[in-house]
Amino acid sequence: MSLPILVSFLLFLSLPLLFLTTHFPFFSSSPDADDLSLFRRSTTTTTTTTTNLKPKIAFLFLTNSNLSFAPLWQKFFSYDPNRHLFNIYIHADPTSAVADPGGVFHGNFIPSKKTYHSSPTLISATRRLLANALLHDPLNQYFTLVSQHCIPLFSLRFVYNYLFQNSLTSLTNFAASRSFIEILSDEPNLYERYLARGEDVMLPEVPYHHFRVGSQFFTVTRRHAELVVRDQRLWKKFRLPCITEEPCYPEEHYFPTLLSMEDRNGCTGFTLTRVNWTGCWNGHPHLYTPEEVSPELVCKLRESNSSSYLHLFARKFSPECLVPLMDMADDVIFRDSEVGHC
């Protein structure tokens, strides 16, 4: 075979691989070295032994567009102007030109990579957020993942006291706290999603009876955040491409499955972020519009079917909802005295 013909033949064979690389760049044989280095460093830092400092909440914003509700969150965070109770970390898709909203958000963008809906890139982005927060401040004890479409339903004071149960004023005994992450085993299409990468592909690491689903958004403890960024065993399965026509939504399965397998008793099984899936079928929840925003909606979103837990956050809101939300922020959303009157 002549050299030109051989070269043409090799190029022809490479076309399927080129197509996959072009359309699905998140499928690679191994995690990037910089991510692995970050994860390693974030789980080898020394945890503070000081007991007279208050624990903090790390708010992790995962976005591929501008933070439309930054003014509402600014008001939420203004309760603690010196930032003794919280830290902020933002993973913004670098191809989306997300603007820095300034204020309390300024300077809190972490090194980020492109994300795709219903793909393992959302898992990677979340792990980067967790790793950066772990590495940055040992006082971060709860890690709350939210999106650009999320809003708070209570004041920061209420959220902080709710998570740390009022009586906790230091890091003492925090190890007994549990993560707020939805863990479901009886949802429709669960078996189809399990098989989405191919029959028996998830074995032996993830047998079907351990496969779980839950909300992409959660609040986890520090020990569970460390468990997530340290994991390689389950990640090598969930990062594999789906081969079915329907998406398999790995970001809704990886975290519930991992934490359920490793420490189910350490999780409440409940997410603090309310989402309305009524009548939705395309992987996107109900999008609230300005006409729907009211004090009654806020009260409804706070409620849950659990006698033990409330919803502290909610999604998904259109950017145009900012005006009516700001109009009732002080009198409804952040007025803790009214919590019991919803």
CA distance 234 to 254: 8
Q: What is the pLDDT of residue 247?
A: 83
Residue 136 lies in a domain: yes
Q: Contact at 8 Å (CB) between 192 and 267? A: no
Q: Tell me the C-alpha distance between 23 and 273, whole Å.
A: 32
Q: Across-strand partners of 269?
A: 182
Q: According to the model, what pLDDT value does residue 273 have?
A: 96
- Cα angle: 226, vertex 230, 231; to 5 degrees: 120
Cα distances (angstroms) measured from residue 192 to each of 197, 261, 306, 339: 10, 20, 28, 41
pLDDT, tens digit only, all 342 positions of the chain: 554 444 344 444 443 333 333 333 333 334 577 887 887 888 786 555 455 688 999 999 999 999 999 999 999 999 999 999 999 999 999 999 999 999 999 999 999 999 998 899 999 999 999 999 999 999 999 999 999 999 999 999 999 999 998 444 455 556 668 999 999 999 889 999 999 999 999 999 999 999 999 999 999 999 999 999 999 999 999 999 999 888 889 999 999 999 999 999 999 999 999 999 887 766 689 999 999 999 999 999 999 877 788 999 999 999 999 999 999 999 999 997 555 556
Which range marks the domain in which residue 233 is found? Answer: 54-328
Parallel, antiparallel or unpaired: strands 56-63 and 86-92: parallel
Report the distance separating Cα 331 and Cα 341, nearest Å.
Answer: 13
- What's the number of domains the chain is made of? 1
Three-state secondary structure of 242-290? CCCCCCCCHHHCHHHHHHHHHHHHHEEECCCEEECCCCCCCCCCCCECH
Residue 10 lies in a domain: no
CB-count burial class (<10 Å; 0-12, 13-18, 19+) for 173: exposed
User: Residue 245: its pLDDT value, please?
Assistant: 82
Residue 341 lies in a domain: no
Among residues 146, 181, 141, 183, the alpha carbon closest in space to that of 165 is found at 141
- Measure the CA–CA gap between 243 and 267, rounded to whole angstroms: 31
CA atoms of 11 and 251, how far apart (whole Å): 35
Alpha-carbon gap, residue 342 to 339, rounded angstroms: 6
Q: Side chain identity at 67, as an amino acid letter?
A: L
- In a domain? residue 4: no
The span from the CA of 298 to the CA of 155, in Å, is 13
The three-class DSSP label of residue 164 is helix
pTM value?
Answer: 0.87
Helical (H) or strand (E) element with 59? strand 56-63
CB 132 within 8 Å of CB 110: yes
Asked if the structure places residue 275 within a domain, the reply is yes
CATH code of the domain covering residue 301: 3.90.550
Residue 47: predicted pLDDT: 56
Residue 12: predicted pLDDT: 40
Read off φ and ψ for residue 181, nearest 5 degrees: -140, 135
Look at residue 245 and tell me if it is in a domain: yes
| In a domain? residue 32 | no
CA of residue 115 relative to chain centroid, distance? 13
Residue 84 tokens, joined: 């003794």
In a domain, 339, yes or no: no
**What angle, 0 to 180 degrees and rounded to 10, lies between the N-to-C axes of helices 254-263 and 222-230?**
110
How far apart CA 75 and CA 87 sit, in angstroms, is: 15
DSSP 122: H
